[in-house]
Amino acid sequence: MLDILVGGFYGDEGKGKIASFLALKDNPALSVRTGGTNAGHTIVFNGKKLGLRSMPSAFVNPKTELAMAPGSLIRLAILEREINETGTGSRLFIDPHTGVITEEDIEAEKSNAHLNGTVGSTLQGVGSAESRRILRKLKLAKDYSELSKYMTDVPEKVLDALEQGKLVHIESTQGHFLSLYHGEYPYVTSRNTTSSGVLSEVGIGPKYVDNITVIFKSFITRVGGGVLKGELTPEEAKKLGVEEFGTVTGRPRRVSLFDPEVAKRVARINSATQVAITKLDIKFPGAKGVREYSKLPEDAKKWLDEMEAEIGVPVTLAGTGEEAMDTIDMRYKLRK
């Protein structure tokens, strides 16, 4: 069984939280991370908070094997640090074709006025590395002897697990409207962030997919340039309690209110089978820490029902706090 997790807006939707919750709840045999180090996933578990830029958020389950997709990009120093932080070196697998970002890539972006100014790039070297990959100049994981102990054909590993009836999770990074092809170009990232793009990064076909969970937040945020419909002023965002800062950059995030029409379009393009909505407790403070649907405030229940009707896809997961397990599981809707 193959489940894909993708972001629905401009990133920062809480993919790390949902991925870690599902890893603990569903016990996947394997979790594969796509994307690059320009995206940070925040995980809070057992009182410890980590911002991961390479490692799959499923590391919280000690039984789950972890893998980097051939289409993903890593930085050696960041990967080494996260292996040490999570203690996962013995269960990590890296595809030989995984790309490696160098300091040269980072410096190239910092000196690029278009990326640094107009686009508002995170300047983590991801775009430069992708460019060099296309030009056949990028070094891959197989070119680094220090990574040899992790080398594994990840597509084959995924397919073997699926053929054995095991559960595999694929964790995407960033969000739908940062897609190189479907976002508001040029204010986008350097990859296709939709469910189809995620599959291509892993290297397997769509027939294997069972579930696609699109993750939204109860409000919308984005970092960098580009239009943000209904954007709030910093003062309005602070007053509503939706002021946020980027995991990787530390930059303040621009904010607008949840837009169900936009969410519906995203769900359709990504072929969503279910929707997760995080930070419900920010919109409804009485929902904070609630882990059962029956204990939610009535106004929160009503809002979730309304969003489900407007999006047209079952809302099956709701985040009610930072902690991974502060999540309401409503996937029983899929069994009706």
Report pLDDT for 251: 74
Q: What would the two tokens of residue 36 be?
A: 């690059």
Over the chain, what is the mean pLDDT?
93
Give the range of the structural domain holding residue 264, as residue numbers without chain letter: 2-335
Report pLDDT for 247: 62
Residue 14 has pLDDT above 80, yes or no: yes
What is the residue-wise DSSP string for 242-310?
A: ---B-TTT-PBPEEEE--HHHHHHHHHHTT-SEEEEE-HHHH-GGGTT--SGGGS-HHHHHHHHHHHHH
Nearest to 224 by CA among 184, 196, 261, 259: 184
Active site residue 41: yes
Q: Phi then psi for 126, rounded to 5 degrees?
A: -70, -45
Element of type H or E holding 168: strand 168-171
Residue with the two structure tokens 């980027």? 246
Element of type H or E holding 239: helix 234-240
Report pLDDT for 38: 82
Lowest-pLDDT range, 5-19, 32-46, 203-217, 268-282? 32-46
Q: In the predicted model, what is the mean pLDDT of residues 267-276? A: 98
Lowest-pLDDT range, 111-115, 255-259, 272-276? 111-115
Using DSSP, state whether 315 is helix, strand or coil: strand
Residue percentage of the chain with pLDDT more than 70: 96
Among 12, 95, 105, 281, the one annotated catalytic:
12
Among 3, 26, 41, 182, the one annotated catalytic:
41
Residue 86 has pLDDT above 70, yes or no: yes
Report pLDDT for 151: 98
Across-strand partners of 275? Answer: 214, 315
Lowest-pLDDT range, 15-19, 89-93, 191-195, 233-237? 233-237
Sequence-distant (≥ 6) Cβ neighbours of residue 136 within 8 angstroms = none
Residue 336 has pLDDT above 80, yes or no: no
Residue 125 has pLDDT above 80, yes or no: yes
Amino acid at 80: E
Nearest to 138 by CA among 66, 204, 72: 72
Higher local confidence (pLDDT), 34 or 46: 34
Residue 141 belongs to a domain with what CATH number? 3.40.440.10
Report pLDDT for 58: 97
Q: In the predicted model, what is the mean pLDDT of residues 122-144? A: 93
The Cα–Cα gap between 95 and 147 comes to 10
Q: What would the two tokens of residue 188 be?
A: 């986008």
What is the residue-wise DSSP string for 109-146?
A: HHT-HIIIIII----SSHHHHHHHHHTT---BGGG-GG
Higher local confidence (pLDDT), 270 or 50: 270
Report pLDDT for 326: 97
- Report the helix count and the strand count for the chain, using DSSP H and E: 11, 15
Q: In the predicted model, what is the mean pLDDT of residues 121-125? A: 79
Q: What would the two tokens of residue 34 be?
A: 């796509």
Residue with the two structure tokens 């009836």? 165
Residue percentage of the chain with pLDDT more than 90: 81
Residue pair 277/317 in contact (Cβ under 8 Å)? The answer is: yes
Report pLDDT for 333: 80
Residue with the two structure tokens 């932080």? 85
Lowest-pLDDT range, 21-30, 148-157, 238-247? 238-247
Active site residue 299: no
Q: What is the tally of structural domains in the chain?
A: 1
Report pLDDT for 122: 76
Q: What is the pLDDT of residues 163-176, one digit of tens each?
A: 999 999 999 999 99
Higher local confidence (pLDDT), 335 or 83: 83
The Cα–Cα gap between 249 and 104 comes to 19
Rg (CA), the chain: 19
Nearest to 26 by CA among 213, 277, 280, 305: 213
The Cα–Cα gap between 135 and 113 comes to 21
Report pLDDT for 78: 95
Q: In the predicted model, what is the mean pLDDT of residues 200-210? A: 97
CA 249 to chain centre: 16
Report pLDDT for 271: 98
